Structures are given as C-alpha cells and as structure tokens.
Amino acid sequence: MASTSQAQSSLPHRGFRSHPPAPPHNFGASQQPAAALRDKPRLDRERAERERLAREAQVQGQAGAPAANPMNTLSDEQREEINEAFGLFDNDKDQRIDYHEFKVALKALGFDLPKPEILSHLTTHGIPPDTPASSSRPPNTNNNNVPPGRLVLTLPAFQSIAATLIANRDPRDEILRAFALFDTEDKGMITLDDLRRVARELGEGLEEDELTAMIEEFDLEAKGGVGRDEFIQICMG
C-alpha cells in the first residue's frame, strides 16, 4: 500500500467527479461516461433492475439460497467505476488497499463515510497486511488482534462494500451531488455563468443562445437560474 499522494494527484484525470457532469440529456448537452449524473432513462432502468434483483434476493432468501452478489445489482458503468477507483488507489498493485486508500477510493465514488463506519467495514471485511496475496478471509473471522485501522481490503471485498453502498443510494443524492458540481458557490441554483463554465470544461462548444435557452426553459420561476427542485425534476422526469 503506497502513499495516496500520487493517486490523489492523478484523481482529476480519471473522471471521478473532479469536473461537473454534463447536463442531463433533456438539459441540452451530452454526458460524460463516468459522470455522477444519470439521465432519466438510465435512472428508470437501474431502479427497475434494483427492484427486480431485490425480488429475486427475497425469493432466494425464502428458499435458503445464498444472497446475490451486490456487484450484480449494478450497471456495467458502475462496476467499472468501482474497479477503476480500486485500481487508482492501489498504487503498488498488490490488489489490496489500506485504511486511507479505502477512504479516498470511496470518496471518489461519492461516499464520504465517517471514521467509525470505515473501521467497521475493515473489521468485517479486512485482512492483516501480511496475509499471503492468494488468501482472503470470510467476514467476521479472527484477525489475530490486528487493529482495524491496520487491516487491508482485497478487490472482492472493496467491490462488495462499494456495490452495496451504490445499490442502496437514493438517486436524489446522486443528482444533488451533481447539482453541487454545477453550483460551486452554493447559490441554490444553476445560473448561466455556471453553464458557461461547465460547457467550457467539457469542451461542449455550445453557443450563448443555446445556454440561455436551457436556463429559460427550466427556470420556472424566472429567477435567473435553475433551482435544486427544478433540477431534480429535470433529471427524474
């Protein structure tokens, strides 16, 4: 587990929300592949898929079958983001990350967990740092009294934790995080200046009249910008 300083400096180049996502498809511009914001069709598909898998898991549970792998509840893009986050912070490429790398990798995926929760995940899923590379431990087994903060996570353990967090996330939380990336000054609305900045950062090359039209179309109260509630309605239908 190498220092995270190199990984942190590389983070903006990997697309983990270091730049605002492009507006949703019905907000006038295309989206980045790894953007936090999902357009409505994708939200609908993922919601339906979660509901389907939840029903299957319930049936499996009643039949005594093993629980489904949480990674299977996610889209291909979400699984790719999880694997990229792990790989980015696994600087020495030993297929395991320590406490600090785990915390920053989750933050890259949009989860800023408190220290007790981080330690709880490590206690449940972690292994001692000197464990052979080919070994992993089942949850809740003895760690030879290694403090939780010194335990490490393998890729499968990280996948399980991150996938569960993503599957349980309220889509509104994801949309509000995207809103905050547009509204960097916490004004409570997305203004024309915000759209200019986003278009410039994403290289969209939109004309001024196009940007103005976006604001005018969705600024239902004629206040000069698109508010949080309006933005949520745009994204969720």
pLDDT of residue 136: 53
pLDDT value of residue 178 = 85
* Stretch among 129-133, 151-155, 231-235 having the lowest mean pLDDT: 129-133
Contacts of 209 (CB under 8 A, 6+ apart): none
User: Is the residue at 119 inside a domain?
Assistant: yes
Predicted pLDDT at 45: 60
Residue 114 lies in a domain: yes
Residues 107 and 192 in one domain: no
Among 167, 190, 220, the domain boundary falls at 167
Q: 35 lies in a domain?
A: no
Tell me if 32 is assigned to some domain: no
For residues 151 and 126, the answer to whether their CB atoms sit within 8 Å is yes
For 47, the domain range is: 5-12+42-167
Whether residue 127 sits in one domain with residue 224: no
Is pTM beyond 0.75? Reply is no
Look at residue 148 and tell me if it is in a domain.
yes
Is there a single domain that holds both residue 113 and residue 186? no
Q: What is the mean pLDDT of residues 37-44?
A: 49
Beta bridge partners of 227: 189
How many domains in the chain?
Answer: 2
**Domain assignment of residue 153, yes or no:** yes
**Is 146 within a domain?**
yes
Q: How far apart are CA 218 and CA 231, in angstroms?
A: 8
Residues 157 and 183 in one domain: no
The predicted model gives 14-19 an average pLDDT of 44
Give per-residue pLDDT as tens, 54-90.
655 555 555 454 556 888 888 888 899 999 999 999 9
CA distance 159 to 144: 24
Where helices occur in the chain by DSSP H, the ranges are 5-10, 40-63, 76-89, 99-108, 115-125, 155-167, 171-182, 192-202, 208-218, 228-236
The residue out of 117, 136, 167 marking a domain boundary is 167
Distance of CA 93 to the CA centre of its chain: 22
If asked whether residues 144 and 51 sit together in one domain, one would say yes
Residue 169 scores a pLDDT above 80: yes
The C-alpha atoms of residue 210 and residue 215 are separated, in whole angstroms, by 9
pLDDT in tens, 196-205: 998 888 887 7
Pairwise CA distance, residues 188 & 204, whole Å: 24
